[in-house]
Structure 1
Amino acid sequence: MAPRDIKPLVLYGIYPTANPVKVAIILEILNIPYELKSTDFRQCKEPEYLAINPNGRCPAIHDPNTGIYLWESGAIVEYLVDEYDKENAISFSSLHEKYHLRQWLHFQVSGQGPYIGQFSWFKWYHVEKFPSAVDRYAKETRRVMGVVDLGLKDKEWLVGGKMTYADICLVPWFFWAKRIGGDEWYAEQVSELPNFQKWWNKIIEVPKIKEFCAGIAQFDPSYVPKDVLDRLNNKTA
């Protein structure tokens, strides 16, 4: 857990989108003090924020204790664990477990979030409606759930017999998928994934996780301003 005498970190994020929530949960579980600097979709493209993250996306962090600015949620999670989880509350220092954790984190960053992100884009925001695209990314989301189900065969948690950041980081995007597809769709997807269901029912009851996922459940898709959608749909420069 984090030392008590550290200065609060700054988390730049759009709440309750999945990647900022992922980082916020890690901060909360490790008892790392932080300030949420709410950064909306327009601010992400302003010069002040682009100087922190040239990719113009959230999240990013600033740690005044080390002086680092960091973006990309996976890199942020690895940094927080390396710097502030010295007792291995949600990590391991042993070789195999250490790299199995990274394996799952890299899967989450490259093989979970992007598919569910496209699921939301084509379901809610793309200017032209392509049912085939929605269906494709819905099926990819189900496939990713199946990967986790197989990874949980004969065990409660993904790595080392305890809840780790590998488990935690998968939750916000799966909760996002549930918000996109709806409860009935989600129940159908997990109906033949017993390992996933058992893991899911346990991890979403962890207080800090439950609190943040409640925010995702209430997300209003119309939150994204029209001018931002126009730019994302390449209607404006």
Structure 2
Amino acid sequence: MADQAQFTLYSTVVGPNGWKVAMVLAELGLTYKTVYLDFSKKQHKSPEFLKLNPNGRIPALVDHANNDLTLWESNAIIEYLVSKYDASHKLSFPDFENQQYTRQWLYFQASGQGPYYGQAVWFIKECNSEPKDVVERYQNETKRVIEVLDGELAKQGWLVGGRISVADIAFLQWNTSADRIILGSDFIDTEAPHVRKWMNNMIARPGIAKVMQERAQKMSE
């Protein structure tokens, strides 16, 4: 292990979910290498990758320090990382109640944010924003999720326990998609100021900033 990264992260440059895992790895100071799959070449459907993730999606993570344990589904991965490697509770909580609140927000992110934002991006980018009523539906759902977040963040600045955790990081990359593609940055700036402050506070953290810089570089290649 001394001469190799502890983890291999299978991801893609464009999709948010792999970058979410990378942010948690970076914030916890864990070493990893990323294998970027080319979706245009169907690498995520290759027999080799399907052995790691039978769902044929990203991300997947291999923990070489734990008998090459392999997990897929981004929120399952980040729950594993903090359960096993966050003994100091940098991104998690020692008490049962806040652990459950964290899980609540992770489930909301997986069921409420990711699917709606993802569909919005797909129809906007791949279908030239048609049909318009479908795009409007997913844009409205994006607004609803952001409004839920803004209401909670108005109370305490972070989703759980008054400080950053994986509950917060899970939402960040998809919210940048809301800025860039789904709604434009004006919506969060004007309608969800607590969300904007929260996002900026996360982006300012060294580990997250490093990952976002890497993503920007990869996107420009």
CA distance, structure 1, for counterparts of residue 140 and residue 219 of structure 2: 22
More helix per residue: 1 or 2? 2
CA distance, structure 2, for counterparts of residue 219 and residue 144 of structure 1: 26
Structure 1's consecutive aligned runs of 4 or more residues displaced over 4 angstroms after TM superposition are 4-7, 216-220
1:5-45 Cα offsets, whole Å, 9 max, x none, are 99521100102420000000000000111111121211101
The answer for the alignment partner of 1:56 in structure 2 is 56
Match of 2:26 among 25, 28, 48: 28
Q: Which runs of 5+ in 2 are unaligned?
A: none
Pair 131,216 (structure 1): closer, same or farther in 2 beyond 3 Å: farther
Superposition TM-score, scaled by structure 2 size: 0.89
Establish whether residue 121 from structure 1 lines up as the match of residue 122 from structure 2: yes
Match of 1:38 among 26, 30, 36: 36
1:185-232 Cα offsets, whole Å, 9 max, x none, are 321344122322322232222233234335369848xx9xxxxxxxxx
Instruction: Give the RMSD, CA atoms, in angstroms.
Output: 2.4
Give how far 1:154 is off. 2.2
Question: Helix, strand or coil: the match of 1:62?
Answer: strand
- The within-5 A match list for 1:1-237 is 8-41=6-39, 42-67=42-67, 68-126=69-127, 129-181=130-182, 185-214=184-213, 215=215, 219=219
Q: Is the 8 A contact 1:7 1:65 kept in 2?
A: no
Alignment-mate amino acid for residue 21 of structure 2: V
CA distance, structure 2, for counterparts of residue 205 and residue 187 of structure 1: 20
Q: Which runs of 5+ in 1 are unaligned?
A: 224-237
Alignment-mate amino acid for residue 59 of structure 1: P
CA distance, structure 2, for counterparts of residue 186 and residue 128 of structure 1: 18
Please say which of residues 206-215 and 135-144 is displaced more in the overlay: 206-215
Please say which of residues 52-61 and 188-197 is displaced more in the overlay: 188-197
Give how far 1:136 is off. 1.1
Alignment-mate amino acid for residue 57 of structure 2: R
Calculate percent identity across the aligned residue pairs.
39
Give how far 1:126 is off. 3.4
Q: Is the 8 A contact 1:145 1:190 kept in 2?
A: no
Alignment-mate amino acid for residue 166 of structure 2: Y
Question: Helix, strand or coil: the match of 1:210?
Answer: helix
Q: Is the 8 A contact 1:60 1:69 kept in 2?
A: yes
Superposition TM-score, scaled by structure 1 size: 0.83
Number of residue pairs the alignment of both structures matches:
217
